[in-house]
Amino acid sequence: MEKELKDYIKEINIGNIKIKNNVFLAPMAGVTDIPFRKICRKFGPGLTFTEMASTKAMEFSSSKTEKILQVMEDERPSVVQIFGNDKDIIRNTIEHLNNDDTIDIIDINMGCPAPKLVKNGDGAGLLLNLEKVEEIIKEATSVSRKPITVKTRKGFNNDIITAVEVAKICEKYGVAMITIHGRTREEYYTGVSDLDIIKKVKESVSIPVIGNGDITDVESAKRMFEYTHCDGIMIARGAQGNPWIFKSILEGKDYIPTNSQRLQIILEHIQYALDNEENKKQAVFKMRKHIAWYLKGLKNSTYVKDKINREENIEEVIKILKEYFNLLEDTSYDN
């Protein structure tokens, strides 16, 4: 008998921490700040990850980096993501995070394709030096009092496929979970995520393996579980402007909010952004991309997005949104 999506949804242990389900929000730079994580949490993901934070910046007590690593009590168990290529600096960061009781899990980024990071040997740049990968993982797991997890990619390019090797290193040193994005660094976010490599990693190690890449709805979530036999899934771009994707996957049927519900979610997100930023104008700037994602596919939304992108006053942004949604019918979608 064929399994349904709900048959794959289950509790999962990451080290000594029990997670209510195995559907996670991925860390995304410039996206997964506290307001967005709070919105996503309303729809039930087992974990939400912070944006990645520089361990080197932590050495200089960067207030911006400290803010990235802040988590709220209502998002426990919590995961912060760090990146770097110096095992000693990573050790110092982890020792610092050990003393923060609001942080439950520490994730190490070994997959970000951003040119600046790769040039410095961070993120996916580490995939060119597996000896350094091993040094970092060995150091991190030896000093951490919290479960260490790792997020990586298929490899650096099609000639340098490293996912299985990295996973085995992780298992060797007691990493509690590994997430595999099924693209190489050179692919960035183009093409199609390779499910075969995630399946190979799952077959190669006994630690929990999380599948990541191209999960945008119930069908793609089921395909990831079914084909790779992964222990959980991680959703990135599929949650942008679509935080209810978690509700869809957890319930096994695609959920589309009414336009009035969509507006309510946007307004709540705006309020969270205002609560999180001392500077209201900064909150407006940060919300622009989120609002554009929320409005994607709605009738005549391009005009409204352009209008909002020229507006710096949050009250005016809210007014524009309310006027726009008042003109919409609940079925007003452009195909």
User: What residues contact residue 184 under an 8 Å CB cut-off, 6+ apart?
Assistant: 153, 154, 155, 156, 157, 158, 160, 161
Give the C-alpha separation, 335 to 323, whole Å: 22
| pLDDT attached to residue 280 | 87
| pLDDT attached to residue 331 | 47
Domain coordinates of the chain in residue numbers? 5-251, 259-327
Query: The tokens of 154 are what?
Result: 């298929």
| pLDDT attached to residue 1 | 65
**If you search the block for the tokens 């951490």, which residue do you land on?**
144
Mean pLDDT value across residues 56-61: 87
pLDDT in tens, 228-254: 999 999 999 999 999 999 999 999 999
Query: The tokens of 225 are what?
Result: 């579980």
5-251: what fold?
Answer: TIM Barrel (3.20.20)
| pLDDT attached to residue 335 | 36
Q: Which residues pair with 17 in a beta bridge?
A: 14
| pLDDT attached to residue 333 | 47
| pLDDT attached to residue 26 | 98
Q: What is the DSSP letter of 3?
A: P
The enclosing H or E element of 115 equals: helix 115-119
329 pLDDT more than 90 = no
pLDDT in tens, 101-140: 999 999 999 999 999 999 999 999 999 999 999 999 999 9
pLDDT in tens, 261-291: 999 999 999 999 999 988 888 999 999 999 9
Tell me the percentage of the chain whose pLDDT exceeds 70.
Answer: 98
Mean pLDDT value across residues 139-166: 98
Q: Do domains 5-251 and 259-327 have the same CATH topology?
A: no
328: pLDDT confidence band, cut at 50, 70 and 90? confident
Average pLDDT, the chain: 94
| pLDDT attached to residue 152 | 98
> In the chain, what is the straight-line distance between the N-terminal and C-terminal CA atoms, in Å?
35
CATH 1.10.1200 fits 259-327, yes or no: yes
pTM of the model: 0.94
Q: Which residues are catalytic?
A: 112
